[in-house]
Amino acid sequence: MSADQVLASETNCHLFDGCGFPAPGLHSFVFDPIFSIGSFDFNKPMLLAFLSTIVVVGFFWAAFNKPKVVPGKVQMVGEAGYDFVRRGIVYETLGKKVGEKYVPLMVSLFFFVWIMNIWSVIPVAQFPVTAIIAFPVGMAAIVYITWMYLTFKKHGFVGALKNITGYDPTLGKVLPLSMTIEFFSNVLVRPFTHAVRLFANMFAGHTLLLLFTLASWYMLNGIGIAYAGVSFVMTIVMTGFELFIQAVQAYVFVLLACSYVQGALAEHH
């Protein structure tokens, strides 16, 4: 049963009606195709991801297509957002001289992740795209490939292997064990945790919002109205908290991306 079908059944279910509480679950993250092209199904998360791309590109195009010395409102907001990522994340991690060339990538990642997160609290959309694991994995793969490319380009084949495995001859007999752990940590665990950190937070946040929203509707019957009010207040509180988490997760994702680039460019000793 898809999320749309479950939602339709949940709207007719209330406390004391003889039906159980329609708890959110994995079915809340499965959507019917909007349309299909051959064997390819285009669903709601894909549409929201596409709209996120349009929003980010459209906004920055409007802000900087014809920049002015005295910026208008859109350009001012665009400059503030761009400068926040550039100075607050990239420069702080990579430094101004090294980091400047990576600013466009990091700005794009930050706002793309943030917009995909924020759909969760937008009426009608009401779903964070990054709660589907494929999207965080795709962005983490971009960062991972960039990190690998820069590591081998900067250090060469042997130097890159030393960088990835944390080669340090002063470790003596524990060096083989240390290198094995570092290799698996950097090559396998790093991209996995980079993607899952974003996915898990958005998945959990959306589940909580669904839980309190459904509880508010479910208990809106008889003496359950008082409890429905409490649940509704919690829905509002969780929505505000989710707005904060959405921005934080975009920040953390890009901060980690910058730290990986910094590690790739660092001199190995």
* pLDDT tens for the 269 residues of the chain, in order: 455 555 445 556 766 666 777 778 888 888 888 888 777 888 999 999 999 999 999 999 999 888 887 888 999 999 999 999 999 999 999 999 999 999 999 999 999 999 999 999 998 899 999 999 999 999 999 999 999 999 999 999 999 888 898 888 888 889 889 999 999 998 999 999 999 999 999 999 999 999 888 888 888 776 778 888 888 999 999 999 999 999 999 999 999 999 999 989 887 54
- Residue 71 pLDDT: 82
Separation of alpha carbons 66 and 60, rounded Å: 11
What's the structural domain count of the chain?
Answer: 1
Separation in Å, CA 138 to CA 132, 145, 249: 11, 11, 16
Separation in Å, CA 2 to CA 22, 44, 75, 96, 128: 14, 12, 41, 48, 17
Cβ atoms of 154 and 265 closer than 8 Å: yes
pTM summary value: 0.89
- Residue 206 pLDDT: 93
- What residue numbers bound the domain in which 118 lies? 3-265
- Residue 8 pLDDT: 47
